[in-house]
Copies of this chain bind each other. A is one copy, B any other.
Amino acid sequence: MSARNFPSIFLASAVAVFLLAPSLRAEEGMWTFDNPPLKQLAAKYGFEPTQQWLDHLRLSSVRLNDGGSGSFVSVDGLLLTNHHVARGQLQKNSTAEHNYLRDGFYAKTLDEEMKSPDLEVNVLVGMENVTARVQGAAKGIADNAKALKARSAEIAAIAKESKDKTGLRSDVVSLYNGGEYWLYQYKAYTDVRLAFAPEQQAAFYGGDPDNFTYPRYDLDMAIFRVYENGKPLHTENFLKWSAKGAAAGELVFISGHPGSTARQQTVSQLLLERDVREPAVIEYLQRRIAVAQDFAKQGPEQARLVGSTIFGLQNSLKVYLGRRDALSDKAILAQKQAEENDLRAKVAANPEWQKEYGGAWDAIAHAEDLAKPEIPRQIFRRADSQLFSLAQSIVEYVAEVNKPDGDRLPQFHEADLESLRFQLLSPAHIYPSTEKLFMKNALNLAATKLGADDEWVKAFLAGGEIDKTVDMLVDGTKLADPVFRKSLIEGGEAAVAASNDPMIVAARRVDPITRATYIHIRDSVSSVLTAEGEKLGASRFTVYGKNTYPDATFTLRLSYGTVVGFPYNGTVAPPVTTFYGLYDRAASFGNQSPFDLTPKQTANRDKLDLSTPLDFVSTGDIIGGNSGSPVVNRDGELVGLIFDGNIESMAGDFVYDGTKNRAVAVHSSGMIEGLRKLYGAGALADELEGKK
The number of chain A residues touching the other chain, given as a range, is 20 to 34
* Cα separation A613 to B574 with both chains bound (whole Å): 22
Given A580-B583, A584-B577, also A569-B213 (CB < 8 A): yes
A213 touches B570 (CB 8 A): yes
Closest-CB distance, A215 to chain B (whole angstroms): 7
In the complex, A38 has a CB within 8 A of chain B: no
Query: How far is A581 from B574 in the complex, measured between Cα atoms in Å?
Result: 12
- In the complex, what's the smallest C-beta–C-beta distance from A198 to chain B, in angstroms? 20
Q: Which residues of chain B have C-beta atoms less than 8 A from A206's C-beta?
A: 571
Min CB distance, A536 to chain B, in Å? 33
In the complex, which residues 581-612 of chain A have their Cβ closer than 8 Å to any Cβ of chain B? 581, 583-585, 587-590, 595, 610-611
For A568, list chain B residues within 8 Å (CB): 569
CB-defined contacts of A212 to chain B, threshold 8 Å: 570
- The winner among A209, A210, A580, A595 for most chain B CB atoms within 10 A is A580
From known contacts A580-B581, A584-B584, infer whether A571 and B209 are also in contact, taking CB-CB under 8 Å: yes
A516 an interface residue at 8 Å Cβ cutoff? no
| Contacts known (A580-B581, A583-B610, A583-B611); A588 close to B575, Cβ less than 8 A | yes
Task: Find out whether the CB atom of A574 lies under 8 angstroms from the CB atom of B585.
Answer: yes
Residue A252 at the B interface, CB < 8 A?
no
Indicate if the CB atoms of A584 and B587 lie closer than 8 Å.
Answer: no
With most chain B CB atoms within 10 A of its CB, the pick from A568, A569, A576, A587 is: A587
Q: Name which residue of chain B comes closest to A646, CB basis.
A: B570
Docked complex Cα distance between A613 and B577 (Å): 20
* Alpha-carbon separation in the docked complex, A569 to B585 (Å): 15
Smallest Cβ distance from A586 to chain B, in angstroms? 8
Could you tell me the distance between the alpha carbons of A590 and B209 in the complex, rounded to whole angstroms? Answer: 27
Which chain B residue lies CB-closest to A612? Answer: B587
A584 and B578 within 8 A (CB): yes
Q: What chain B residues lie within 8 Å of A570 (beta carbons)?
A: 212-213, 646-647
* Min C-beta distance of A616 to chain B, whole Å: 9
Is A248 positioned at the interface, with any CB of B under 8 Å from its CB?
yes
CA distance A121 to B206 in the complex (A): 45
Q: Does A349 contact B (CB under 8 A)?
A: no
- Residue A43 at the B interface, CB < 8 A? no
Residue pair B574, A213 in contact (C-beta under 8 Å): no
Among candidates B210, B571, B581, residue contacting A584 with C-beta atoms closer than 8 Å = B581
Whether B587 and A611, one on each chain, are in contact in the complex, defined by CB atoms closer than 8 angstroms, is: yes
Q: Which of B210, B588, B647 is within 8 Å of A581, CB to CB?
A: B588
Q: Is A96 an interface residue (CB 8 A)?
A: no
Does residue A331 face the partner (Cβ distance < 8 Å to B)? no
Report Cα–Cα, A510/B210, bound state, in Å: 59
Q: How far is the CB of A334 from chain B (nearest CB, A)?
A: 16
Interface positions, chain A 191-217, Cβ under 8 Å from B, are: 206, 209-210, 212-213, 215
Q: Mark A425-459, 1 if CB is under 8 A from B, else 0.
A: 00000000000000000000000000000000000
A215 with B647: CB separation less than 8 A: no
A220 to chain B, nearest CB (A): 16
Q: Which residues of B contact A577 (CB under 8 A)?
A: 584, 588
Q: Tell whether A572 is near chain B: CB-to-CB under 8 Å.
A: yes
Known A-B contacts A587-B611, A611-B587; the reply to A210 vs B571 at CB < 8 A is yes
Known interface pairs A569-B213, A570-B213, A571-B209; A587-B583 also in contact (CB < 8 Å): no
Name the CB-closest residue of B to A648: B570
A570 to B212, CA, bound (A): 7
B-side contacts of A585, CB under 8 Å: 574, 581
| Closest chain B residue, CB of each to CB of A206 | B571
Set of chain B residues within 8 Å of A574, measured between Cβ atoms: 585, 588-589, 595
How far apart are the CA atoms of A568 and B647 in the complex, in Å?
Answer: 10
Q: Is the CB of B647 within 8 A of A588?
A: no
How far is it, in angstroms, between the C-alpha of A613 and the C-alpha of B584 when the chains are bound? 9
User: How far does the Cβ of A661 sit from chain B's closest Cβ, in whole Å?
Assistant: 13
Q: Identify A587's interface contact among B209, B213, B578, B646, CB under 8 A.
A: B578
State the CA gap A213–B571 with chains docked (Å).
7
For A646, the chain B residues whose CB sits under 8 A away are 570
Query: Which of chain B's residues have a CB closer than 8 A to the CB of A583?
Result: 578, 580, 610-611
A-B pairs, 5 with minimum CB distance: A570-B647, A574-B588, A580-B584, A581-B584, A587-B611
List chain A positions with a Cβ less than 8 A from chain B. Answer: 206, 209-210, 212-213, 215, 248, 568-572, 574-578, 580-581, 583-585, 587-590, 595, 610-611, 613, 646-647
> Other CB < 8 Å A-B pairs besides A574-B585, A575-B588, A580-B584, 11 of them?
A209-B571, A213-B569, A215-B588, A248-B590, A570-B647, A574-B595, A578-B587, A580-B580, A580-B587, A580-B610, A581-B585
The 24 sampled A-B contact pairs (Cβ below 8 Å) are A209-B571, A209-B572, A213-B569, A215-B588, A248-B589, A248-B590, A568-B569, A569-B569, A570-B646, A570-B647, A574-B588, A574-B589, A575-B588, A576-B587, A578-B583, A580-B584, A580-B587, A580-B610, A581-B581, A581-B584, A581-B588, A584-B584, A587-B610, A587-B611
